[in-house]
C-alpha cells in the first residue's frame, strides 16, 4: 500500500526520457541504467528515512541530476530527524557500494562505471547548493547559530555563489550547464518564497505546541531573530514574554 502510494507521487522530467533516448543512440544505455540505479537508491534512502520519521511525501521529482523529494512536513522539526532524512541518501549509496564491492568483480566495466558514477553523484550531492543534500545539512548547521530567517537567506545566497563558481569551471560542459540551469530555477523559486517560508515558520510556532530545551533570548520584539531549534524568549522593557505571546500580538495586529 505504501509502495503504491509513493509510486503515484513520482514525476519524471521529460529531459530524463530524452537523455535515455540519447544514451541508446550513442551506445551508453548501460551507463545510463547504472547512473539511474544509483540515483534511485539515493532517493530511496531519503524516502525510507522520511517514512521512519513520519514525514509526509508530497511529490518525488526525477531530474537529470537526480531526485528531489518534496515533503509536506512542519518546518519546525528537530535537527536530528532532518539530518537523518537528508543523510539517508548518502547512507543508501554507501550500502549499495558495499554490495557492488562484494558481488561484482572490480575489474569489470560494470564495477568501474558504477564506481565513477557513485563517487561523482555522492560528491555532487554534497555541494552546498539548493536543493542538494549539502545545502540542507549546511542549513541545519546555520540554524544552530543564526536565526531561521538569516539561515534560510544565507543558504540561498551560497547556492547562487555555488552555481556561479561551477558554471565558471564547467561552462563548456553542456550536461553540467543543463543541470545548473535546472538547479538555478529551483533556487530562484525558493528565493521568491523566502517571506512565505518565514511567515509559515512563525505561524507554526504560534499555533503548534513546539518544545525545545535551550533558550534564545531576544531583546525587543524582533521576530526575525527567532531561532529554529530553540525556545525564543523576548525581553521587552525588562519583562519576559514567550514567543506565543509576541506572535499573538503580531498576528492580531495584522488582522
pLDDT at residue 71, rounded to an integer: 83
pLDDT in tens, 73-89: 888 888 898 999 989 99
**Boundaries of every domain in the chain:** 1-125, 128-192, 203-254
Q: Span 151-163, mean pLDDT? A: 97
Q: Is the pLDDT of residue 196 over 90?
A: yes
Q: What are phi and psi of 160, to 5 degrees?
A: -60, -45
Q: Is the pLDDT of residue 8 over 80?
A: no
Q: Is the pLDDT of residue 254 over 70?
A: no
Amino acid at each position: 500500500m505504501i509502495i503504491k502510494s509513493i509510486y503515484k507521487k513520482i514525476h519524471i522530467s521529460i529531459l530524463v526520457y530524452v537523455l535515455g533516448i540519447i544514451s541508446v543512440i550513442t551506445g551508453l544505455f548501460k551507463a545510463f541504467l547504472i547512473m539511474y540505479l544509483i540515483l534511485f537508491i539515493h532517493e530511496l534512502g531519503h524516502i525510507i528515512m522520511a517514512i521512519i520519521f513520519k514525514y509526509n511525501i508530497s511529490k518525488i521529482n526525477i531530474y537529470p541530476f537526480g531526485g528531489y523529494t518534496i515533503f509536506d512536513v512542519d518546518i519546525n522539526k528537530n535537527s536530528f530527524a532532518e539530518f537523518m532524512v537528508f543523510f539517508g541518501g548518502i547512507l543508501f549509496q554507501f550500502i549499495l557500494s558495499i554490495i557492488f564491492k562484494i558481488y561484482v568483480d572490480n575489474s569489470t566495466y560494470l564495477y568501474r562505471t558504477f564506481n565513477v558514477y557513485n563517487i561523482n553523484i555522492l560528491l555532487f550531492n554534497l555541494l552546498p547548493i539548493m536543493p542538494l543534500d549539502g545545502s540542507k545539512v549546511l542549513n541545519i548547521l546555520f540554524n544552530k547559530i543564526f536565526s531561521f530567517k538569516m539561515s534560510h537567506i544565507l543558504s540561498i545566497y551560497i547556492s547562487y555563489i555555488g552555481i556561479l563558481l561551477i558554471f565558471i569551471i564547467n561552462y563548456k560542459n553542456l550536461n553540467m550547464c543543463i543541470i545548473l540551469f535546472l538547479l538555478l530555477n529551483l533556487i530562484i523559486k525558493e528565493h521568491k518564497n523566502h517571506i512565505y517560508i518565514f511567515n509559515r515558520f512563525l505561524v507554526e510556532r504560534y499555533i503548534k505546541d513546539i518544545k525545545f530545551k535551550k533558550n534564545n533570548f531576544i531583546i525587543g520584539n524582533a521576530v526575525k531573530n527567532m531561532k529554529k531549534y530553540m525556545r525564543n524568549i523576548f525581553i521587552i522593557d525588562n519583562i519576559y514574554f514567550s514567543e506565543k505571546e509576541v506572535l499573538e500580538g503580531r498576528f492580531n495586529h495584522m488582522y
